[in-house]
Amino acid sequence: MKTSQSAAYSDVDAILQQLLVEAQAVLGEQFVGLYLTGSLAAGDFNPSRSDIDFVVVTANELDEETVTALAAMHTKLRNNSSVWTTRLDGDYVPQTALRRYDPALARYPHLGDDGHFAVEQRGGGAIIQYHTLRENGIVIAGPPIRPLIDPISPDELRQATLEILHNWWQPLLPEPTILVGSDYQAYAVLTMCRILYTLQFGVIVSKPAAAKWAMGVVDGRFSSLIQQADAWQNGMPFDKLDETVDFIRYTLAAAS
C-alpha cells in the first residue's frame, strides 16, 4: 500500500482519523472506504498551501437524511481548532459511479474547502479524480482502490481537461472576480500548466511537475509568472491578475 505524505504531519493524520471515525459513524454499512487523492497521493503535498483531498466510497447512493447528517458532521468537524479542518476537500462517491464515469451517475455529495457541503453534478473533474485515485490513491481504510475503477485512457483525460478549461475557466474571463485573491491566482496559473501538460501527453502530473515543464515550453513572457506561482505559499502576496488572465487566454488558444 502506498504511504501518504501525511505521515510526516501528525496533525493531518489526526484530522484524517477523526474524519474516518465520524464518517463511519454516519454511514454505517454504507461505508466502503476512505482514500486520499490530490497532492498527498501525488507526493507533492505542501503544508503551506495544499488541501487534504479525500474520497469516501459508499456502497450505494446516499439518501437525503444521510447527506444531511454528513453536512452536520462536517460543520462540527470544521469547528475543530485544527486549521486542517478548513483544508478538507472531498467527495462521497457511490461505488457504482466510481467504476466508470457516467454523467447520469456523477451527482453526489461534495465538500469544498470553503466548508460548503452539497450534492453536486461532477463533470470532467470527476474523470481526473478517478484516474488519480486509480493510479496514486492512498488507502486510509477499506479495500484497495485500483480494482474499483476502470482504466481511463489518455484521450478521456484530454477531453476531461478541455471540459474543465472551457466550462469553468473560460466563463470567468469577462468578469474574473474570483481571481482577485492571491491563492486563486496562483492556483489558476498552476492549473493552466497542468492542463497544457495533460493536453500534450495525455497524463496527469502534479502541479509543480507541470510548472517545471511549462517554464521550458510556453511563451517566455509567462515564465516569471509560473515561477512565482510555483513558489507561492499562503500569506504571500500574488497580485498578478492581468497576467493570470492572459495566461488563461494563452491556454485556451493553445487548446484550440
Task: For 27-60, write each residue's pLDDT tens digit.
Answer: 999 999 999 998 888 777 888 778 899 999 999 9
> Of 148, 176, 207, which residue constitutes the final position of a domain?
148
- Which pLDDT belongs to residue 8? 54
> Of 129, 148, 167, which residue constitutes the final position of a domain?
148
Task: Tell which residue, 54, 56, 42, 48, has the closest CA to residue 13.
Answer: 54
Amino acid type, 124 = G
**Domain co-membership, 139 together with 160:** no
3-state secondary structure of 141: strand
Who contacts 198 (Cβ-Cβ below 8 Å, separation ≥6)? 157, 158, 161, 204, 205
pTM: 0.88
**Domain co-membership, 118 together with 190:** no
Range of the domain at 47: 5-148
**Tens digit of pLDDT for each residue in 138-176?**
999 999 999 999 999 999 999 999 999 999 999 999 998
For strands 31-36 and 117-121, give the pairing: unpaired
Who contacts 95 (Cβ-Cβ below 8 Å, separation ≥6)? 32, 57, 58, 59, 60, 148
**Domain co-membership, 16 together with 120:** yes
**Tens digit of pLDDT for each residue in 10-26?**
888 999 999 999 999 99
Residue 190 CA to residue 144 CA, distance in Å, equals: 30
Report yes or no: 196 and 34 within 8 Å, Cβ to Cβ.
Answer: no
> Of 90, 113, 148, which residue constitutes the final position of a domain?
148
**Domain co-membership, 112 together with 197:** no
How many domains in the chain?
A: 2
Domain containing 46 — which CATH number?
3.30.460
